[in-house]
Amino acid sequence: MNQQDVNLKITDRDGVLHEIVAPTDMAMNLMEVVRSYELAPEGTIGICGGMAMCASCQCYVLSETELPEKQDDEEAMLSEAFYVKDNSRLGCQIQITPEMEGLEVELAPES
């Protein structure tokens, strides 16, 4: 594992925990990591392409990881989404950076 990789724990929609090593040097976000590791069926996540215009990449943050503040469009999207909890975030809005080491999330049910 090189210095630029972080360990993530992602629970998929079937309740299966995946321990992932994700690169921080590719400007990926959490939704893209989920897609590249095929943790959600094609066409069920990141439908809008990461523009915070759909909630298909909603996830629940389980760890105490310090995340970037929610922007207005993420806030607005989550206010209309299904299955939203206090710890809901849109995966496309969480950039994979060294600070994300140890991040644990669970994918929200498909709406």
The reported pLDDT for the residue numbered 22 is 97
CA-only gyration radius of the chain, Å? 13
Does the structure show a pLDDT above 60 at 1? no
Does the structure show a pLDDT above 80 at 78? yes
Fold entry, domain 6-107: Ubiquitin-like (UB roll) (3.10.20)
Interstrand relation of 88-90 and 58-61 (parallel, antiparallel or unpaired): antiparallel
Cα–Cα nearest to 4, from 97, 105, 103: 97
Taking residues 23-28, report their average pLDDT.
94
- Per the confidence metrics, is the pTM higher than 0.85? yes
The reported pLDDT for the residue numbered 3 is 72
The reported pLDDT for the residue numbered 111 is 78
Instruction: Look up residue 8 and give its two tokens.
Output: 């993530």
Taking residues 49-58, report their average pLDDT.
96
CA distances from 38 to 23, 31, 79 (A): 16, 10, 27
Does the structure show a pLDDT above 70 at 2? no
Mean pLDDT, the chain, as a whole number? 95
Does the structure show a pLDDT above 90 at 51? yes
